[in-house]
């Protein structure tokens, strides 16, 4: 599956590429199809590097996360696992810290992140999926938290996966390591939308982009930040005061003023950037 566009600037490493598409959209691509996009330390480092670069791009308003090939990601690379097995406890701690840093950066990426999932999404790939704001999966997608099968556990990704599917379901799938299909993933809350095949993912992504194009880029960032600020906190005076401060701040912002003016005058708001991008399908 590929997304086509009229203008693009690409930044590529061996395993990861970052393409800047038209008008505020970029795609971060796992590009190791010969290994089913399996993770290793180099791929994790490249993802962190590209996320940092994308975060610093003030013209970017939407990030797509996808992969080349039949599978989104088969999980940890076998060679990497062999190296980790021979590493010391301190080396394993450092290694795990990098994966934790990747999950944190993706989860807290300031702009909306749309994940496109096909084929296998195993192990750490379930963590990446859980860190996306919106997830579209093809009906052939399969998910598995497989770590206990090899004597491990999904530790680093657990905060994000548990927030996505809930403690009750995590108690089943963390422990059973069973494979579940895309429809089950949607029922669990890990996936938001299903499409018939991988070739339909780009079209569905474009529909999401068109929807987001109607919104204030600044307000979308603020809304995402708001969720992190209030989630899992008691409704205290501190939270109430913080939310009232946030709405007051955004009402007097440039985009807040433009949005309110457009609504009251029954016209389209003139946001700083449009987010349209031409997409296509293909393998």
Give the model confidence (pLDDT) of 183-214 as tens digits: 999 999 999 999 999 999 999 999 999 999 89
Most confident of 19-23, 105-109, 231-235, 266-270: 105-109
Q: Are residues 229 and 135 in the same domain?
A: no
Q: How confident is the model at residue 2 (pLDDT cuts 50, 70, 90)?
A: very low
Least confident of 74-83, 104-113, 134-143: 74-83
Percent of the chain residues topping a pLDDT of 70:
91
Taking 60 as the threshold, does the pLDDT of residue 273 lie above it?
no
Q: Are residues 250 and 195 in the same domain?
A: no
Q: Are residues 160 and 191 in the same domain?
A: yes
Q: How confident is the model at residue 279 (pLDDT cuts 50, 70, 90)?
A: very low
Q: Which helix (H) or strand (E) holds 159?
A: helix 158-165
The more confidently predicted of residues 4 and 211 is 211
The more confidently predicted of residues 87 and 72 is 72
Q: Are residues 151 and 236 in the same domain?
A: no
Computed over every residue of the chain, the mean pLDDT equals 90
Q: How confident is the model at residue 79 (pLDDT cuts 50, 70, 90)?
A: confident
Q: Are residues 179 and 204 in the same domain?
A: yes
What number is the average pLDDT over the span 129-147?
Answer: 98
For Cα atoms 86, 90, 94, give the angle at the middle one, nearest 5 degrees: 95
What number is the average pLDDT over the span 115-121?
Answer: 98
Q: How confident is the model at residue 3 (pLDDT cuts 50, 70, 90)?
A: low
The more confidently predicted of residues 273 and 151 is 151
Report yes or no on 184 lying in a domain: yes
What are the structure tokens assigned to 144, written together? 């598995």
Q: Which pLDDT value is given to residue 274?
A: 46
Neighbours of 35 (CB within 10 A): 18
Report yes or no on 280 lying in a domain: no
Q: Are residues 31 and 125 in the same domain?
A: yes
**Cα–Cα distances in Å, from 232 out to 32, 226, 227, 236, 245?**
37, 12, 9, 12, 19
H, E, C per residue of 213-269 = CCCCHHHHHHHHHHHHHHCCCCCCHHHHHHHHHHHHHHHCCHHHHHHHHHHHCCCCC
Taking 90 as the threshold, does the pLDDT of residue 283 lie above it?
no
Identify the three-state secondary structure at position 25. Answer: strand
Rounded to the nearest 10 degrees, the angle between the axes of helix 124-131 and helix 89-107 is 30
Report yes or no on 176 lying in a domain: yes
Q: Are residues 103 and 241 in the same domain?
A: no
CB 102 within 8 A of CB 80: no
Report yes or no on 269 lying in a domain: no
Q: What's the N-to-C CA distance of the chain in angstroms? A: 4
Query: At 101, which CATH number?
Result: 3.90.226.10
Query: What's the DSSP call for residue 24?
Result: S
- pTM score, two decimals? 0.90
What number is the average pLDDT over the span 74-90?
Answer: 88
Q: Are residues 159 and 250 in the same domain?
A: no
Q: Are residues 252 and 178 in the same domain?
A: no
Q: Which pLDDT value is given to residue 228?
A: 94
Q: Are residues 187 and 221 in the same domain?
A: no
Report yes or no on 273 lying in a domain: no
Range of the domain at 224: 217-264
Q: Are residues 74 and 194 in the same domain?
A: yes
Q: Are residues 222 and 171 in the same domain?
A: no
What number is the average pLDDT over the span 134-156?
Answer: 96
Report yes or no on 4 lying in a domain: no
Q: How confident is the model at residue 14 (pLDDT cuts 50, 70, 90)?
A: confident
């Amino acid at each position: 599956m590929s997304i086509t566009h009229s203008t693009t600037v690409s930044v590529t490493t061996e395993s990861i590429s970052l393409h800047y598409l038209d008008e505020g959209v970029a795609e971060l691509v796992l590009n190791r199809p010969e290994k089913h996009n399996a993770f290793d330390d180099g791929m994790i480092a490249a993802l962190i590097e590209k996320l940092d670069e994308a975060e610093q791009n003030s013209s970017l308003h939407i990030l797509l996360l996808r992969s080349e090939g039949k599978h989104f990601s088969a999980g940890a690379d076998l060679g990497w696992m062999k190296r980790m097995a021979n590493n010391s406890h301190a080396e394993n701690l450092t290694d795990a810290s990098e994966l934790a840093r990747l999950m944190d950066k993706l989860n807290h990426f300031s702009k909306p992140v749309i994940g496109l999932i096909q084929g296998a999404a195993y192990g750490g790939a379930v963590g990446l999926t859980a860190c996306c704001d919106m997830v579209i999966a093809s009906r052939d997608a399969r998910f598995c938290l497989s770590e206990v099968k090899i004597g491990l556990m999904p530790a680093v990704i657990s905060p994000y996966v548990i927030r996505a599917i809930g403690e009750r379901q995590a108690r089943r799938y963390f422990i059973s390591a069973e494979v579940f299909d895309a429809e089950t993933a949607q029922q669990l809350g890990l996936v938001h939308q299903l499409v018939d095949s991988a070739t339909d993912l780009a079209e569905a992504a474009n529909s999401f982009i068109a929807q987001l194009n109607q919104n204030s880029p600044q307000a979308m960032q603020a809304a995402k930040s708001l969720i992190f600020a209030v989630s899992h906190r008691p409704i205290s005076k501190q939270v109430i005061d913080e939310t009232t401060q946030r709405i007051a701040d955004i009402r007097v912002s440039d985009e807040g003023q433009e949005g309110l003016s457009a609504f009251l005058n029954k016209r389209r708001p003139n946001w700083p950037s449009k987010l349209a991008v031409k997409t296509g399908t293909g393998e």
